């Protein structure tokens, strides 16, 4: 997929040398994330150090494997507290794959329900499709005004690897002064949440670090907001 020269230049101007910490709590391909963020222009550190994670311009929370195991690992590294404190102060956080799923209230795997970080209401449930896992490239439907997908064509494809997803977005904005979250959808059997932009908290179900030029532009967009 080709990106316009204007899009590349805009991303470059915005990025600068923002400090991004990839939170290393044992559940995520941190090296791939590090390379992709560096390609997008960030100054990247892989660590679970509390002060570094708290003070970085952006915190990226990866995640692979089971929901319950990721939550256990995150809590053991105090990542749950770090995410909560950063968001309370309006400090940017981005979750990827299971790192997105654990931001929801709960996950249901093999009939067992586990608590998530509850930043968003809703449940992560098994995909409702004939073929599971959902593995490979797919398009998404981004909302108008999305900053995360700025500069990307509507037919841009992203790389997914997952067996669980959120099928129903239930968060309502009751205060008219607050900006409503921007929710991006994809479809595998049934529509599911593919990405969310909600104030300082952004997340993707797909892997931008494995999504080629489209993923690189998306990460550049995020870094440009830090």
Catalytic residues: 97, 207, 209
- In DSSP terms, 108 is beta-bridged to 113
Q: Alpha carbon of 24 to those of 18, 44, 86, 106, 224: distances in Å? A: 19, 12, 16, 22, 23
| Cis amide bond preceding 133, omega within 30 | yes
Cα-Cα end-to-end distance for the chain? 26
Residues whose CB is less than 8 angstroms from the CB of residue 165 and which lie 6 or more positions away in sequence, other chains included: 101, 124, 125, 127, 134, 188, 192, 193, 205
CA 141 to chain CA mean position, Å: 16
CA dihedral 74, 76, 79, 85 (to 10 degrees): 140
CA gap 164, 181 in Å, rounded = 21
């Amino acid at each position: 997929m080709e990106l316009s020269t204007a899009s590349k230049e805009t991303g470059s101007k915005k990025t600068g040398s923002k400090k991004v910490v990839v939170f290393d709590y044992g559940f995520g391909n941190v090296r791939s994330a590090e390379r992709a963020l560096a390609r997008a222009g960030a100054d990247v550190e892989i660590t679970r150090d509390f002060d570094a994670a708290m003070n970085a311009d952006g915190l990226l929370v990866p995640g692979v494997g089971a929901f319950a195991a990721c939550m256990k690992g995150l809590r053991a590294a105090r990542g749950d507290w770090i995410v909560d404190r950063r968001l309370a102060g309006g400090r940017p956080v981005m979750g990827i794959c299971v790192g997105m799923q654990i931001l929801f209230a709960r996950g249901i795997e093999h009939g067992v329900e586990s608590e998530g970080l509850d930043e968003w209401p809703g449940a992560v449930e098994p995909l409702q499709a004939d073929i599971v896992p959902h593995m490979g490239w797919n398009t998404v439907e981004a909302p108008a005004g999305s900053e995360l997908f700025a500069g990307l064509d509507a037919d841009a494809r992203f790389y997914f690897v997952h067996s669980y997803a959120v099928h129903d977005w239930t968060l309502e904005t009751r205060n008219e002064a607050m900006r409503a979250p921007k929710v991006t959808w994809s479809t595998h059997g049934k529509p599911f949440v593919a990405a969310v932009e909600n104030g300082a908290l952004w997340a993707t179900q797909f892997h931008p670090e494995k999504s080629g030029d489209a993923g690189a532009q998306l990460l550049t967009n995020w870094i440009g907001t830090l």
